[in-house]
Amino acid sequence: MNFFFEPSGVAVVGATPETYSGGRYLVTNLTLGYQGPIYPVNPKYHEVLGLKCYPSVVEIEGPLDLALIFVPAQAVPQVLKDCVAKGVRGAILQSSGFAEAGPDGKALQDQCLTIAQQGGLRIWGPNCMGLIDTSKRHVFSFIAPEAWQEAMNPGGVSLIVQSGLLSAGFITTLMSNKTLGLAKVCSIGNRSDVEESELLEYLLQDRATKVIALYLESFIHGRRFYELALSSEKPIVVLKGGKTSLGAEASASHTASLAGNNELIWGVLGQASVHQADDFFEMVDIARTLEKDFPLQVPPKGKGRIAILSYSGAAGIVTTDHLVANGLTLARLSPQTLERLEKLSPAWMPVKNPSVVNEPRKPILFWLIGHRKGREETRMTLEKEGWPTFDEIHRTVKVMASLFDQGKKRKKDLEISTIQFSFPQSLRKMMDQADKRGVQLLDEYEAKKWFKTIGLNVVKEMTAKNLDETLKAAEKMGYPVVLKGRVEGKVHKTEAGLVKSNLWTKKQLRAAYEEMSSFYPKPPSFLIQPMLKGSLELIVGVVRDPQFGPAVMLGLGGIHADIYRDVIFRLPPLTETDAVEMVSSLRGEAVSSLRGEALLRGYRGTKPVNMKSLSDWLIKLGWLVLTSEKIQEIDVNPLLIVDGEPIAVDATIILRSHLQP
């Protein structure tokens, strides 16, 4: 990666002396900061801006690590061949007209990638704005020189942005605001080769970078990104574009990359303690405040406690509303603190929280109002002293919340290594059998047999082939019972009429059996289960995400699960702490901790959920999918909570048939 940021020799292919052109800006920007040799390349000129211009890359003499390429897309493959011939190490393709432009462009991009990979050349882009390193004043980008020359303000925030034009207009705005100190800016475009994870890894090692903020529409190597973020000591902030299906559609047309399952991404980023922003300046406001590295006392239990100092009661009230909405609360002030405040406060302003001053070591975020001129002076004074300032209450509070989130970040890698899990021989055998039979789908009976081998609790059940066996089973089990008809390949048994619940008598059971037997084809066998009454229905499962790989899901079940879609994802391996976090990340829990009691601490006289057992489900299903390539998907629905214990009542396992054993 380093040859992109600190190259020995840079060629500008498409250099031109024409005013207002990217090819000229690229050369100008190099001359304004880069100390190594600069080689303009363009067969039309002998000289560009006082520098010798070469007809092609192969003609260049002297050291040459990096080529900045800004020629029409069709001309790029030949340029890359020249770069390979010359031994160039990296090329930043700032031209557009590739994958983002349609299938022809995609083919051209693939062709470029092949040339590069065969020649040992790394590609950055195409369809990007290149990079900026403020400390060295390296601007390897066609951004206009006047946009950065005066305004560049070195600092600790690095940006990785999957966007071209926005990064320029956006960076220009940020620089002119003078409140953000930048380290490195990477505009990575179509990411045909260099992508966000590799750059993230580079920036995590970069001394100048203290915080990394990313705008991404998808993750090329999601699992790798997750692992880097999980182990990172530096705060990471992500704005994920293309959250909604409409947004994702626009996204696909823009960078030709797939936007992922938003609920899964939200869960995974939370798991890795990545800060999530909803808008561009919100992303930057979080990053520039985290850069200050305030020492923050996070209460071991409960919410982050904030004091508000304001002469305006209304501002205090609205701030409190936003604090609560962001999971924070007001600090209770000691009598001593109140007394000291009384001395500072005018007589007409009674001291109460909202209304407080803190020790200066603690983070103090300023919301400024007043006349523009005075406000700007105050802002710049505060910012110079290292105190972040904001224009709106909602943003001030959101950023405050991110400080607390950062304070809660825990090192998970150690915990994970302590998890023990081994496959029992009996499960291996069942897996092999399923494989030999070539089945793609295991029904609830078989799925639950798998779960039992790893110590997970499933509903008691008996099988029957005919009415006689059915009635005997029910007698033995005790009424009321549930009767289920097993038909190969039928997963949605309820919709198919293959589930009859609430059977309290022999007569009712017989009627149910006879109805199912009248179906064509008649179910070859039946399941008899006791009619369980749970206090809560959950859904747990695992999926394989195209970006992030194996993922574990927990959700609230029943009809309302479909209405509220209250689900949370995490990547395995999971710890018990992860499992508790999953429960507390369910919206039903997050809406109010009081309501969360429904799940964790029992509800209306029901027993609390046994968290150890629930964790077991999540951890073990995670291990199953992580260690068994064969498993595509597991769905346990419902996982019923009976007297506090989770019990699998219905389940499906989908296998990946196309894999060889």
Least Å distance between CB 598 and a second copy? 5
Q: Which of 217, 383, 405, 578 binds a second copy (CB under 8 A)?
A: 217
Using CB under 8 A as the binding rule, the residues of this chain from 589 to 648 that contact a second copy are 591-592, 595, 598, 603-605
| Rounded Cα–Cα distance for residues 216 and 121 (Å) | 24
Is 281 a binding residue for a second copy by CB under 8 A? The answer is yes
Query: Toward a second copy, which CB reaches closer, 492 or 658?
Result: 492
Of 335-374, binders to a second copy (CB under 8 A) are: 348, 350, 352-354, 369-373
Element of type H or E holding 639: strand 631-642
| Span of 425-433, 520-528, 587-595, 650-658 interacting with a second copy by CB under 8 A | 587-595
Strand locations in 352-446, DSSP E? 366-367, 389-390, 441-442
Closer by beta carbon to a second copy, 113 or else 315? 315
> Rounded CA gap, 169 and 181, in Å?
17
> What number of other Cβ atoms are within 10 A of residue 15's Cβ?
30
> What is the layout of strands, in order, in the sheet containing 182-187?
138-140, 130-133, 182-187, 154-161, 211-216, 236-240, 275-277
Number of amino acids touching a second copy (CB under 8 A): 94
Within positions 524 to 543, which residues make up the interface with a second copy, using CB under 8 A? Answer: 536
CB-wise, 597 or 645, nearer to a second copy?
Answer: 597
Regarding 490 and contact with a second copy (CB under 8 A), the answer is no
Give 34 or 280: the residue with its C-beta nearer to a second copy: 280
- What number of residues does the chain have? 661
Our finding on whether 316 is near a second copy (CB under 8 A) is yes
441-442 and 462-464 beta bridge pairing: unpaired
* Residues 144 and 119 sit within 8 Å (Cβ to Cβ): no
Residue 352 CB, nearest distance to a second copy (Å)? 5
Q: Quick check: 636 and 539 in contact, CB under 8 A? A: yes
User: Which 130-149 residues touch a second copy, going by CB under 8 A?
Assistant: 147
- Min dist. Cβ of residue 134 to a second copy (A): 17
Q: What is the distance, to the nearest Å, from the Cα of residue 633 to the centroid of all Cα atoms in its chain?
A: 21
Region from 4-12, 325-333, 520-528, 629-637 binding a second copy, contact rule CB under 8 A: 325-333
Binding segment for a second copy (CB under 8 A), chosen from 53-61, 277-285, 426-434, 542-550, is 277-285
Q: Cβ closer to a second copy: 59 or 279?
A: 279
* Distance of alpha carbon 139 from the chain centroid: 29
Please select the residue that binds a second copy; options are 564, 577, 656, 659, rule is CB under 8 A. 564
- Positions 40 through 99 that interact with a second copy (CB under 8 A): 96-97
Of 225, 303, 262, the closest CA to residue 568 belongs to 262
Binding-residue pattern over the window 240 to 269 for a second copy, x denoting contact by CB under 8 A: -xxxxxxx--xx-xxx--------------
- Binding segment (CB under 8 A) for a second copy, from list 321-329, 516-524, 546-554, 612-620: 321-329
Angle CA(328)–CA(330)–CA(331) in degrees, nearest 5? 115
Shortest reach from residue 554's CB to a second copy, in Å: 15
Of 17, 19, 71, nearest to 49 (Cα)?
17
CA-CA distance, 65 to 43, in Å (whole number)? Answer: 21
SS3 call for 267: helix
| Site residues (CB under 8 A) for a second copy, limited to 97-126 | 97, 100-102
Report the greatest alpha carbon distance in the chain. 99
Convert residues 146-185 into a mask of x (bound to a second copy by CB under 8 A) and - (unbound).
Answer: -x---x---------xxxxxx--xx-xx-xxx--------
Task: Categorise residue 557: left if φ over 0, alpha if ψ from -120 to 50, beta otherwise.
Answer: beta
- Check: CB of residue 583 under 8 Å from CB of residue 599: yes
- CB of 82 or CB of 566, closer to a second copy: 566
